[in-house]
Amino acid sequence: MTLIELLIAISFFLAVGSAYGSASHLRLGFFGHALALLMGIVIGLGFAWTMWASVGKLVKWTDRVPKAFQGACGIGCLLLFGVWIIVAGIAGAMLPTMILRLIY
């Protein structure tokens, strides 16, 4: 498993875990937890797919830049993916919380 695949997996599971945590915090029953997990999976897949698609474009782009600049691009991409993982966790917690409060 490469580092990028690990970051993609982290963004997926962080969104799912945050959604489950929000359902547990709201003390919902079985169907509330199941609905929160379903929303977390959808959110996690969206964030993971977006990260996977951007990696393909970034690899093509970094092939055209000079070698001296490729290291800085890699560090910048890792920082950007770190921010993206944080946003995935926040979205995985906030969106199911808001939707479940409307339903229950």
Tokens standing for residue 12: 């997926």
pLDDT digits (tens, 9 = 90+) for 33-70: 999 999 999 999 999 999 999 998 988 988 888 888 88
What's the CA gap between 98 and 90, in Å, rounded? Answer: 12
Share of the chain above pLDDT 90, in %: 78
Mean pLDDT score across all residues of the chain = 93
Query: SS3 helix, strand, coil % of the chain, rounded to 5?
Result: 90, 0, 10
pTM, entire model: 0.90
Domain boundaries, the chain: 3-103
| Closest residue by Cα to residue 104 from 50, 40, 31 | 31
97 Cβ contact list (under 8 Å, min separation 6): 22, 25, 26
